[in-house]
Amino acid sequence: MFIDRVKIKVSAGNGGDGVTAFRREKFVPRGGPSGGDGGKGGDVWLESDEGVNTLLHLRYNPEHKAERGRHGEGSNRHGKDGADVNIKVPIGTQVFNAESEELLFDFTEAEQRFLAAKGGKGGWGNQHFATSTNRAPRYHYTGRPGEERELQLELKLIADVGLVGFPNAGKSTLISVISAAKPKIADYPFTTLEPNLGVVDLGEFNTFVVADIPGLIEGASEGAGLGDRFLRHIERTKLILHLVDVSSISGRDANEDYKIINRELANYNQDLAERPQVVVATKIDALDEPERLESLRELAEKDGKPFLQISAVTNQGTRELVNLVAQKLSEITQNEAKEKIDVSYND
């Protein structure tokens, strides 16, 4: 089961108490205070792990508490520190304060760590309070409480390319053809109920990652269908492939589908509407009205967007599409590098 949003409670360990004690040893007159300090409470850490790809393990285990520090003892013995708790999360997880909705951390790489809750400091024993005028203090500090937080975790898949389009536009078929991903494919709407990732191999160790999200419908940005829940998975993508079914099988108008999806992207996040986009006419093997294809081509070219026609079933145009995507990603990477150089130069 793919789970991409959970709420968890994290509780760091309390610090151990210091202790009031005095040395009582033979041949050691006026031994003085010897109360040891309490141990520090354990921390709660979140850590990104390449081997984890969903938040499912946190859905059924929402509370995480670190060990408390042990109390100090006599003879200046320090209490043992509490053990930390490490919670594994997928790369792409964002951590929010559940109350304020403030973004606390964004995991974009493997093995990143975030201190979710800090353990309490151990209390001082009475040895710390001895002075020339108070050689036998009879007090100590108690340990500090550990932090407690409610966190909202949201997973946004990290992919180079995002596939968008109406249900049954051919997204799952395409990703199964150009990558090793094996999503469920059927001829009914919303076959895809969770995002799928596929790695496209260009040869010579050159690859890019494609994300296939459930089909969008009108009103998706406001919660209709499954789009509102999954649209965030294409927020990190560099390039959008907008798949439009131009066959007459669906009974839909290709141009209207194209406009609706772009409108939903803009309503959800204006940045998505402005992201580089390639319009892909699908199912041309079943095309029985050529004017539908040409009308969509004119509309895409009017909007200044590259246009390709493919049939994932017969592999027609898929190689050209992969090459175009690789070219576009290379251009985007070069532009990003140039912008960084310009910014650093101006600074």
Q: What CATH number did the domain enclosing 63 receive?
A: 2.70.210.12
Going from the C-alpha of 242 to that of each of 182, 196, 246, 346, the distances in angstroms are 20, 16, 12, 36
Which pLDDT does position 106 carry in this prediction?
Answer: 94
Which pLDDT does position 50 carry in this prediction?
Answer: 87
The C-alpha atoms of residue 157 and residue 272 are separated, in whole angstroms, by 15
Same domain as 124, residue 188: no
Model confidence at 67, in pLDDT bands (50, 70, 90)?
very high
Which pLDDT does position 343 carry in this prediction?
Answer: 61
Same domain as 165, residue 151: no
Stated pTM of the model = 0.74
- Domain of 230, CATH number, reads 3.40.50.300
Q: Locate 73 and state its tokens.
A: 């003892």
Model confidence at 186, in pLDDT bands (50, 70, 90)?
very low
Which pLDDT does position 183 carry in this prediction?
Answer: 57
Final residue in a domain of this structure, among 128, 155, 182? 155
Dihedral angle of Cα 36, 37, 39, 43, to the nearest 10 degrees: -170
Which pLDDT does position 144 carry in this prediction?
Answer: 96
- Residue 188: pLDDT over 50: no
Query: Could you tell me which residues are beta bridge partners of residue 211?
Result: 162, 197
Same domain as 266, residue 128: no
Same domain as 317, residue 213: yes
Same domain as 101, residue 119: yes
Let me know: does 153 contact 93? Beta carbons within 8 Å.
Answer: yes
| Long-range contact pairs involving 298-303 (C-beta distance under 8 Å, separation at least 24) | 299/255, 299/258, 300/258
Same domain as 333, residue 195: yes
Which pLDDT does position 71 carry in this prediction?
Answer: 96
Same domain as 223, residue 133: no
Q: Locate 165 and state its tokens.
A: 């389009």
Same domain as 147, residue 228: no
- Residue 184: pLDDT over 60: no
Domain membership of residue 296 as a residue range: 161-346
Same domain as 145, residue 1: yes
Model confidence at 225, in pLDDT bands (50, 70, 90)?
very low
Which pLDDT does position 89 carry in this prediction?
Answer: 95
Same domain as 95, residue 180: no
Going from the C-alpha of 332 to that of each of 92, 239, 327, 335, 339, the distances in angstroms are 21, 9, 9, 5, 11
Pick from 6-10, 193-197, 223-227: least confident: 223-227
The C-alpha atoms of residue 312 and residue 170 are separated, in whole angstroms, by 8
Give the total number of structural domains in the chain: 2
User: Mean pLDDT, to the nearest integer, of 291-305?
Assistant: 93
Final residue in a domain of this structure, among 155, 175, 200? 155
Same domain as 64, residue 25: yes
Q: List the 148-155 sheet strands across, edge first.
A: 63-65, 5-11, 148-155, 93-97, 103-106
Final residue in a domain of this structure, among 99, 132, 155? 155
Same domain as 116, residue 83: yes
Which pLDDT does position 26 carry in this prediction?
Answer: 72
User: Mean pLDDT, to the nearest integer, of 183-193?
Assistant: 52
In tens, the pLDDT along 253-289 reads 999 999 998 998 888 888 888 899 999 999 998 888 8
